[in-house]
C-alpha cells in the first residue's frame, strides 16, 4: 500500500473518488454556515426542495451530446435535488460527498449572501 502525503493529481478533488459514466461528484454545503439567519420554517422547506454543492469532478459521459455543452464544470456552485444521488465518504479525507446523476443538477449558483464578522458580504461566483 502506498502512502499519499498530499493531493496533487486533482487538487480540487482530494476525496479519492472519481465519478464514472454520467455521474458528477459534488461536495454539499449548508445554508446555515456563515449565512444570514433564516427562520426555521423556511430552512425546513428549503431542505426539502434543494441542496447546495460544489462540483469536484465530472464523469466522462456527463452531458455528452448536449448542444449547449456541460451544465456545470469543476468548481461551480450548483443546486441539486435534496434526495438525489448516493452519499459517499471520501476514502482519502473522510469527508461526506454525493455522487449525483448529471440531470440532478438543476441550477448554477452565481451569487450568494453570507455574513462574515457581522457584515453582509455578497459572493459572486465567476467561471475562469
| Residue 97, pLDDT score | 93
CATH of the domain at 90: 2.30.33.40
The answer to the question of residue 59 being in a domain is yes
Contact 25, 55 (CB under 8 A): yes
| Residue 40, pLDDT score | 61
The answer to the question of residue 30 being in a domain is yes
Q: Please state the pTM of the whole predicted model.
A: 0.75
| Residue 77, pLDDT score | 92
In the chain, how many domains are there? Answer: 1
The answer to the question of residue 5 being in a domain is no
Contact 47, 79 (CB under 8 A): no
Contact 104, 80 (CB under 8 A): yes
Residues belonging to the chain: 128
The answer to the question of residue 1 being in a domain is no
The boundaries of the domain holding residue 27 are: 23-124
The answer to the question of residue 106 being in a domain is yes
- pLDDT tens, the chain, 128 aa long: 445 445 555 567 888 898 999 999 999 887 654 444 555 665 555 555 568 899 999 998 888 877 777 788 899 999 998 888 999 998 888 889 999 999 899 888 888 877 777 788 888 887 76
| Residue 46, pLDDT score | 53
Q: Return the SS3 of 64.
A: coil
Amino acid at each position: 500500500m502506498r502512502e499519499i502525503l498530499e493531493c496533487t493529481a486533482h487538487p480540487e478533488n482530494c476525496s479519492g473518488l472519481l465519478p464514472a459514466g454520467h455521474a458528477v461528484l459534488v461536495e454539499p454545503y449548508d445554508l446555515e454556515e456563515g449565512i444570514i439567519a433564516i427562520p426555521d420554517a423556511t430552512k425546513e422547506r428549503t431542505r426539502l426542495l434543494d441542496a447546495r454543492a460544489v462540483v469536484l469532478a465530472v464523469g466522462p459521459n456527463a452531458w455528452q451530446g448536449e448542444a449547449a455543452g456541460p451544465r456545470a464544470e469543476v468548481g461551480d456552485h450548483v443546486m441539486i435535488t435534496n434526495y438525489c444521488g448516493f452519499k459517499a465518504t471520501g476514502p482519502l479525507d473522510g469527508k461526506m460527498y454525493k455522487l449525483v446523476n448529471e440531470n440532478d443538477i438543476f441550477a448554477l449558483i452565481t451569487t450568494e449572501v453570507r455574513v462574515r464578522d457581522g457584515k453582509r458580504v455578497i459572493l459572486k461566483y465567476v467561471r475562469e
